[in-house]
Structure 1
Amino acid sequence: MTMIQPRAHSRKKIAGLYLVTDRALCGNRGLEEVVSLAVQGGAACVQLREKDLPTRPFVEEAKRLKALLSPLRVPLIINDRLDVALAAEADGVHIGQEDMPCDIARRLLGPNAVIGLSVETWEDVEAAELMDVDYLGVSPVFATPTKTDTKAPWGLEGLTRIRAYSSHPLVAIGGISRDNAADVILAGADCAAVVSAICAASDPRMAAADIQAEISWALKKKQRNKQHLIHP
């Protein structure tokens, strides 16, 4: 049996509010402005997702975001494209079940890169337990129009089941907003990934701040509950 190698201490931790970009939803503000405002509001990680952008402009965009985010110590994760992640010197990559295998991604990106993996079925969750990944993207938790190529939603019960089984940090994604961000954290997620609730917001900074406040409240509540179990 292949065992998971210890994670390198220099990898950046993924926690809190995780912004996943959608250029079309950003509208006239533009992607970089929305990312900047979201980070001001509390986004702790940014995933650049570009399904249709050619390679060169994708790399150029990634480099601009890297220059924006690095001084703020906010990790930049590239969706799917290892070549873009390497070219832009991004902090890591998020891959799906049909993308580059995790072991090859790790070999190409090196021991310090952040690698996230989408899990859409229970079989995916079981297989991921033996993989050297830094988090699992539980996808989708709720139905969402921004992810149309995924399996049935996990729901909060599915998220709790994964938390009970998996040793990996969990990033919940799919239909997450201010209204349910605390719920997904309390159900077992370490991080809430948001797309339209920030990218399409009239005030991305305030939208991010509101969602981050819900996440922080839920994380503190989980910590209090944990301490109560240890010291009743």
Structure 2
Amino acid sequence: MFPRLHIVTDSLDVVRGAVGHGPVAIQIRVKKSDRLAYELTVAALEVCRAAGALCLVDDRVGVALAAGADGVHVGADDLPVAAVRRVLGPSALVGATCRDPAAARAAVADGAGYLGVGPAFATSSKDGLPPPLGAAGIGAVVDAVPGTPVIAIGGITAANAAQLPGHGVAAISAIARDPAGATIELLKVLAR
């Protein structure tokens, strides 16, 4: 079963605190360098494998391949999904960022196994984002790609995750302060 909770982080402490409480995917997001991303991914993979959690790499296809991660998540300005699929092969998990139904259908046609859609709500985790989509915008993407997991990202908290029944969520800042507690709380909300 594909995890409905994705945790995006650049901290091994967050990885250690978040895994082992239920089905999660860890997405390693390191913007500074490939070497730092690789080192963190290798360390995170050890923790994730022991706990049965997926470990993905954000943006960096080469790092995902070199570290042996379960897959990669690419944004609109990264390598195209079809190119990533060719590089990583048919068994790797490839996620793509989308904001609307047309982009979602195109990403799935090109080989995306899941979609990250957002920002769902207002967030300060990333600069220059477009306006939040809200539950209706996320729902429109879900309806466009039946059977493809959709993970809402951007401003996710346990309180507003409840507005997205049946969808998955990705959390960044909501997890950072108390990885174990926040993971447990989000998993409870997603189980409803």
Shorter-normalised TM range: over 0.9
Residue 80 of structure 1 and its aligned partner are, at CA, apart by: 0.3
**Aligned length in residues:** 191
* Cα distance in 2, alignment partners of residues 57 and 119 from structure 1: 27
TM-score normalized with structure 1 length: 0.77
The answer on whether the counterparts of 2:175 and 2:182 sit within 8 Å (CA) in structure 1 is: yes
- Give the 3 Å change call, closer, same or farther, for CA 129–33 of structure 1 in structure 2: closer
**More deviation in 37-46 or 174-183?**
37-46
1:127 and 2:115 correspond: no
The counterpart of 1:177, out of the listed 157, 161, 168, is 157
Q: Which amino acid aligns with 2:154?
A: G
What is the root-mean-square deviation of aligned Cα atoms in Å?
A: 1.6
TM-score normalized with structure 2 length: 0.92
3-state SS of paired residue (2:152): strand
Partner of 1:195 in structure 2?
172
Residue 129 of structure 1 and its aligned partner are, at CA, apart by: 4.2
Partner of 1:207 in structure 2?
182
Partner of 2:71 in structure 1?
92
Residue 153 of structure 1 and its aligned partner are, at CA, apart by: 1.3
1:109 and 2:81 correspond: no
Which contiguous aligned blocks of 4+ residues in structure 1 show a shift greater than 6 angstroms?
A: none
Q: Which amino acid aligns with 2:20?
A: Q
Partner of 2:24 in structure 1?
44
* Cα distance in 1, alignment partners of residues 109 and 14 from structure 2: 36
The answer on whether the counterparts of 2:29 and 2:37 sit within 8 Å (CA) in structure 1 is: no
* Cα distance in 2, alignment partners of residues 114 and 64 from structure 1: 19
Residue 43 of structure 1 and its aligned partner are, at CA, apart by: 5.4
Residue 59 of structure 1 and its aligned partner are, at CA, apart by: 0.9
3-state SS of paired residue (1:86): helix
3-state SS of paired residue (2:151): strand
Residue 70 of structure 1 and its aligned partner are, at CA, apart by: 1.1
The counterpart of 2:126, out of the listed 118, 133, 147, is 147
Higher strand proportion? 2
Q: Which runs of 5+ in 1 are unaligned?
A: 1-12, 24-30, 218-232
Residue 127 of structure 1 and its aligned partner are, at CA, apart by: 2.3
3-state SS of paired residue (1:83): helix
Partner of 1:226 in structure 2?
none
Q: Which amino acid aligns with 2:26?
A: V
- Give the 3 Å change call, closer, same or farther, for CA 149–51 of structure 1 in structure 2: farther
The counterpart of 1:61, out of the listed 30, 37, 40, is 40
* Cα distance in 2, alignment partners of residues 149 and 113 from structure 1: 30
- Give the 3 Å change call, closer, same or farther, for CA 146–43 of structure 1 in structure 2: farther
Q: Which amino acid aligns with 1:92?
A: G
